Structure 1
Amino acid sequence: MNADAQFLNDFQTATLPFEQWTHAAHIRMAYLVCRSSNTFEEALLKIRQGIQHFNGLHVAKLTVGFHETMTQLWTTIVWNATKKCDSSVSNSNDFLEQNRYLLDSSLWKQYYSPALMFSADAKRSFVSPDLKSIQT
């Protein structure tokens, strides 16, 4: 099993150590799911369910928990980056190297004010950006 398949398996089975569930790991997982999905909606569903499953098995360690708007925003950003990749990108390391801006966990601030992003509504269900729109 290659490194990406092993990582995705470890995430999906929640055997990935919680301490390794970093922002970069979220982006890596999202890339792998987007790359193997036929539609944005399929990717979003798999990513949402995967994060909720992983979080559910590590609930005692969570400080924030699942956030619907953050999940949809990052899935959109990663989906768009995945679709723009050239043929030289064959794994998540190549993807991250060509899209280093995705490693900036504050990128969401280009699209959302903190007040909106951290609202109860945004955590529970998707709310549209209030600073800059984003489309798939």
Structure 2
Amino acid sequence: MMIARRADTRARADFATWKMIAKLNGASGLTPQAQEFLASYKTRLEQTSSEHEATEATIGEMYKAYYAEMGGYGAPPEVKSVPTEPVTDNVTAFRRLPPKPKAAPNGQAAKPRLPVALIFACLCVIYIGIRLYLR
């Protein structure tokens, strides 16, 4: 059963990868085996009315090939890894978290920080003062 799960996972991952590469016009760089599976997917897609059916049939074919390749004997067992509803969109929108108010440990409001320009100006005044003092 372990070989069957690995073969099914590999078949699903490879098919999704190959399908995306084909959409990006890079199918010519795939292995001959991958190109054969994509060609069989396209013919099934033309014959069947559902993309889901064509995808599952192609993945089933790949699963059988991978099961035999990984050392499985006989007919491969059924692996139930297909969700009941196909996922259409799994992207969530990015939302920025609201800023957390800064509170001092003793409960008082935090002291305002000096701006960087003021600190730089003070350092310049100190430097010039030291230079004039050493002359």
Fold shared, TM-score > 0.5 on shorter chain: no
TM-score by length of 2: 0.28
Whichever of the two has the greater Rg, that structure is: 2
Q: TM-score, normalised by structure 1?
A: 0.28
